[in-house]
Amino acid sequence: MRIAVLGLLLLSTFICPSVVAASGTPTLVGSASCQTCHSEQYAEWRLSHHFAAMSVATQASVLGDFNNSQFIYNGVTSRFYRRDGQFYVTTDNAEGKLQEFPIGYTFGVYPLQQYLIDFPNGAKQVLSIIWDSRSKEEGGQRWYHLYPEQLHGIDEPNMLEPAIDHNDPLHWTGSMFNWNRRCASCHSTGLEVNYEPDNNSFNTRWFEINVGCEACHGAGEQHLQWAANSREKPEIVPNKGFPQSINNLAKWGHIPDAKSAHSDVYQTFSRRGPVAQRQKETCAACHSRRSPLQASTPGHDYDDDHMLSLLESPLYYADGQMREEVFVWGSFLQSKMQTAGVTCSNCHNPHSLSLKIPGNGLCTQCHNPSVFDQREHHHHEGEGAKCVNCHMPTTTYMGVDDRQDHSFRIPRPSLAERIDAPNACNQCHDDKSNSWAQQAIDGWNKARGKGASSHDFGEAFFAAQSGDINASTELLKIALDSGQTGIVRGSAILRHGQFHNSQSLKATQSLLLDSDPLVRLGAVRSMDALPIGLKARLLLNHLEQSSKSVRVEIARQLASLPLEQLPKAKAKVLLAMFDEFIESARFNASAPESQVLLGLFYFERQDYVLAEQAYRQALKISPRLESAGLNLAELYRLLGQEQQSLALLKQTLTLLPDSAAANYAMGLWYVRDGDYAAALNGLLRACELDSFNGRYASTYALGLDKLNKRQDAKAYLRDWISKHGAQPQVQAVLDAWR
């Protein structure tokens, strides 16, 4: 799930009049304090999506039809109405029964608006029935559900997914739709989550309900002091009293490249450095797919406050195009724009959030219009001639919200065909094939005397995704290529993890010294399958890391290492990293996934009491969280508590009957119990639910073999390979039976 940041002119609401800061720490002063000196920027902000990120539900802020309107979904009729100036919905609760709920807050404005409901434990839940605020001509002015009753699956387009009911983890009353833990930090300013694990409750507070000035600029107390007292001597107060400056100092212009053989090539020069990068990281703090490590503070390095998601499936397609909602930053980091020093405010007004220039004029700030904004370049008329339609294709999220890919890639239809990815051409020419689009592009390039464009990593990433060991050499080459962007290199070595060998581990050592934290992060994360002794040899000489994201990942990888076997100095450093990992996990204590990570960490540390506590806390927050139930069942098994393990597996399957992992775990339990006939039921069901999983397929075949059905097992694996390719673990089973 994702919540869109949207906008409307609303009144800002404060929960508390001030923030009490620690001694010596500047306090928040509120956006209204900026109005006197920065009236233009303040007026623009008041019209922005940031201003309307969240608001108390009032006559002015609510856009949805609450005139006793109805919406039917999965057999449940929800009703939206007003009473005594308050907005209400009657809809299904966590038990599947109709219940009346008062609407507390609006969440966004256009192209959709969502609504928050206060729960008794202090949680604010996001209703999954949404108001489409687009015009009727655009298909809007209607209620719709975030998950349509029949939705095509991602991996198997012909498979229809059922509607969401109260038993589903994606029901609006569950953890995935909790505002406090999922949305609040990027939609309000000066947020304090205040989660209480013992009773799974919240006492969440904010300074400003929406995204105010200080969410980006930092606390303004010392800036006000500078404005009042220090204007004559600005050098005395760095950044005019703010913790950072996020002014855009980049200057751009068309300058003919004397070194180029082509007269139409222009260099774009920028004056850039830490200032421009700091601006981008400030925006990225919310506009990225990441795991928070600590409170995000303006002025902090991004990689200290967050761990960015790399280019992994299913978040991204193999060529780096966005697939799930990844919120811009991971895409932009792949681009030549980012490498050249382009920053967010070169294109976006940072206060109104609108584009600075309409149409292609935005791009021709840098790209010579006499070359690029011409039919000879784009070969289209009208909408097709817009730069963004070819170089920033859209993906629709939340049913109606079109988001543009910020990697600024060149369409490559033939690559899209080979790696099962979309291409921009067929977003408009949806009645044509990839080969048709590629032939058109090849014809244009031939007429201009240019060859076909290539792609540096898409095919290698796709091959690795398919388990093809032949991808390993190319992945390593990409990871070591300093000409590639950091996120691509880090993703390449991460994807190489399944193929690690002596050569790649030697290369990984050098990647751990790379200046880019994303390269180092990918290198560390690639070690999951390595034995702890080998991990220790690779990582113990790299404990001094400047980025917290890399430090906590090293701590996770080395969790099972006995500290008493290390030199005291290294043991002390590693213990501090362990504490940092625990601190980061507890910072996210209200997220059940974080509790699972903490449980796994304690399990590796052989602290089984704390591991059990963490898993149980995850199940308290989200009873249907698959990973929590399965990991706790495995813990009980390893502790010799077989019946508790079996009971928990049965409970998990009752809640999640279509979980491939749960069916597989149940099958393995019966394998260990020696009941192979019962085991095959779970193993076969797992294979049916996740037909691409080679581990499931090979285990099922081994189960058949245990029942003296080796020929059936061979036939099953051969058929599987014909459909999905020769994954190493599947082929290994067949080879062993020759």
> Which two structure tokens, joined as six digits, stand for 270?
């920028």
DSSP structure class, residue 150: S
Measured distance CA(127)–CA(457) in Å, rounded:
40
Preceding omega of 314 cis (within 30 degrees of 0): yes
* Tokens 């201003």, residue located: 51
> Which two structure tokens, joined as six digits, stand for 339?
């490498």
Q: Mean pLDDT of residues grouped by 10 in the chain (738 residues)?
A: 30 32 72 95 96 96 97 96 97 97 96 97 97 97 90 45 86 96 94 96 96 95 87 70 79 50 45 66 96 91 96 96 96 92 91 94 89 92 93 95 95 94 93 94 83 83 90 96 96 96 93 97 97 96 96 98 94 97 96 97 97 98 95 96 96 94 96 94 95 93 93 93 86 89
Measured distance CA(264)–CA(260) in Å, rounded:
9
Residue 92 forms beta bridges with which residues?
A: 98
Residue of 31, 60, 30 lying closest to 43 (CA atoms) = 31
Residue of 687, 724, 723, 722 lying closest to 702 (CA atoms) = 687
Measured distance CA(288)–CA(397) in Å, rounded:
15
Measured distance CA(302)–CA(464) in Å, rounded:
29
Encode pLDDT of 284-298 as tens digits.
999 999 999 999 988
Measured distance CA(276)–CA(245) in Å, rounded:
9
Residue 562 forms beta bridges with which residues?
A: none
Residue of 11, 8, 6 lying closest to 47 (CA atoms) = 8
* Tokens 């450095």, residue located: 273
Contact predicate 505/472, CB 8 Å: no
Long-range contacts of 685-689 (CB under 8 A, 24+ apart): 685/660, 686/660, 686/661, 689/658, 689/659, 689/660, 689/663
Residue of 658, 652, 684, 660 lying closest to 671 (CA atoms) = 684
> Which two structure tokens, joined as six digits, stand for 16?
């508390």
What's the pLDDT score for residue 365?
A: 85
Q: How big is the chain, counted in residues?
A: 738
CA dihedral 571, 574, 580, 582 (to 10 degrees): -80
Q: Residues with Cβ < 8 Å from 594, sequence gap 6 or more?
A: 585, 588
Measured distance CA(323)–CA(314) in Å, rounded:
7
Per-position b or e across 703-723, b if 16+ CB within 10 A of its CB: bbbbeebeeebbebbeebbee
To the nearest 5 percent, what fractions of the chain are helix, strand and coil? 45, 10, 40
Supply φ then ψ for residue 394, to 5 degrees.
Answer: -100, 155
What's the pLDDT score for residue 232?
A: 57
Count Cβ atoms within 10 A of the Cβ of residue 232 and give its class: 0-12 exposed, 13-18 middle, 19 or more buried: exposed
Q: Compute CA 678 distance to the chain's CA centroid, rounded to the nearest angstrom.
A: 38
Report yes or no on whether pTM surpasses 0.75: yes
Contact predicate 295/305, CB 8 Å: yes
What's the pLDDT score for residue 230?
A: 65
Residue of 412, 411, 414 lying closest to 435 (CA atoms) = 414
Measured distance CA(569)–CA(544) in Å, rounded:
12
Measured distance CA(173)–CA(182) in Å, rounded:
13
Contact predicate 231/285, CB 8 Å: no
Residue 527 has a CB neighbour count (10 Å cut-off) of: 24
Q: Residues with Cβ < 8 Å from 437, sequence gap 6 or more?
A: 411, 413, 423, 425, 426, 429
Q: Residues with Cβ < 8 Å from 263, sequence gap 6 or more?
A: 256
Measured distance CA(226)–CA(236) in Å, rounded:
9
What's the pLDDT score for residue 150?
A: 61
Per-position b or e across 445-469, b if 16+ CB within 10 A of its CB: eeeeeeeeeebbbbbbbbbbbebbe
DSSP structure class, residue 588: T
Residue of 19, 62, 379 lying closest to 208 (CA atoms) = 19
Contact predicate 117/106, CB 8 Å: no
Contact predicate 570/542, CB 8 Å: no
